[in-house]
Amino acid sequence: MGLVVWTVIAVAMILRDIFEHSHEENDKTMVYILLFLFTIWALIQFVMNFVRISSQGGGGPFLRYKMNNGKTVEVTTTLQQKEVVKAGYGQEDVFNLQFPHYNKFINHVKDRKNTDGVLIAGTYIQYFLDNQRNIQQD
């Protein structure tokens, strides 16, 4: 939020500076056009945000999430789906729901030497590794 506020303040100060130090009418007109376009864009975003929120109220994705809260689907040994009610999610549960594919890699590189490198290709896995040494970014 702070970054957004600072960006808006910086843009406002730049536009004010251009407007105050400009002696040509074309520059002032350009500032008015930029402000007008920014206002139109902000209004469109505002309306679209309310449309998105209202679409999730009665029967959208929010309702499906609320109805499924506390329930997980497990696959049995006979490959049948079984709904399991789970009360209380811990950090392990949330991690396994969001990043289950990370577990195999984390276990594979857990006992590596500090001199051995790990290549991270644009994912969040670097934050979950026990050994934070010699991590290379792609």
pLDDT for 16 equals 80
pLDDT in tens, 58-94: 555 555 555 666 777 888 999 999 988 877 777 887 7
For the residues 92-110, what does the mean pLDDT come to? 85
Q: Where are the domains of the chain?
A: 2-55, 101-137
81: phi then psi, degrees, rounded to nearest 5: -85, 135
CA-wise closest residue to 109 among 134, 91, 138: 134
pLDDT for 61 equals 54
**CA 72 to CA 52: how far, in whole Å?**
26
Res. 46: pLDDT tops 70: yes
Q: Is the pTM of this model over 0.75?
A: no
Res. 55: pLDDT tops 70: no
